[in-house]
Structure formats: C-alpha cells, structure tokens
Amino acid sequence: SAVISQKPSRDICQRGTSLTIQCQVDSQVTMMFWYRQQPGQSLTLIATANQGSEATYESGFVIDKFPISRPNLTFSTLTVSNLSPEDSSIYLCSVEGAGLGYGYTFGSGTRLTVV
C-alpha cells in the first residue's frame, strides 16, 4: 500500500495566521482526501483533491478557509486560513489503498493548536 509522508506533525499557531500542511505519497494516486478530527470526535471529510481540478468540498467547509492544492499525482497541501481556537484539531490526509482489501492509507496527522 501507499506510504504517505505528512508534515508538520504538529504546530502551535497564533490566531489569525495560516498553516499549510503537506502530504507526499510514494506512488501516483488519483484522489487524495483531507480529514479533520476535532478533539474527542471522529474523522470528518473536509474535501477531495483530484489532480488538475478544483477540490470538492464537503458541506460546512469552504475553499476560502481550507484552500487545497494538488499540483501532481503524488502531492497535496491543505491550508487552514485565518486560524481561530476552534480550528485546533488533527488534520489527516488519506489515499485509497492499492486494491480493494487494503482500505485507505492515512498520513501520520498534523496536530494543530491555535492560541
């Protein structure tokens, strides 16, 4: 299955600033997914990033707040803009595993704390 390198692993950011999270995959993948895991809650899909097209955002998430780039088939970034304490979460990227029985592979996550 694919191996994902996600960074940074954690960051503490000031209110009003932005944080860009990077995910590098060791193989070419069509779709990459970005998730948010708020404290004590399950994962919520933010958006799906396809190479060469605009990301598709889920209800409650907008491009101005969570701009995504997908310049090629192995890389994507998620920016969390105009940070507020409510943005403090773990952010994860994910790709589909190689083959039906391999599930989805996830990055190691980025733990964001906004102060």
Which of 22, 48, 69, 88 lies at the binding interface for another protein (CB under 8 A)?
A: 48
Which of 107, 112, 113, 115 lies at the binding interface for another protein (CB under 8 A)?
A: 107
Which part of the chain contacts another protein (CB under 8 A), choosing from 61-69, 71-79, 81-89, 107-115? Answer: 107-115
Of residues 87 and 107, the one with the C-beta less far from another protein: 107
Which of 33, 34, 70, 83 lies at the binding interface for another protein (CB under 8 A)?
A: 33
On the question of a cis peptide bond just before residue 8, with omega within 30 degrees of 0, the verdict is yes
- Rule CB under 8 A: is residue 89 a binding residue for another protein? no
Of residues 6 and 74, the one with the C-beta less far from another protein: 6
- Rule CB under 8 A: is residue 6 a binding residue for another protein? yes
Facing residues of 21 across strands?
78
CA pair distance 23, 6, nearest whole angstrom:
4
Binding site for another protein (CB under 8 A): 1, 4, 6, 9-10, 31, 33, 41-43, 45, 48, 58, 92, 94, 97, 100-109, 111
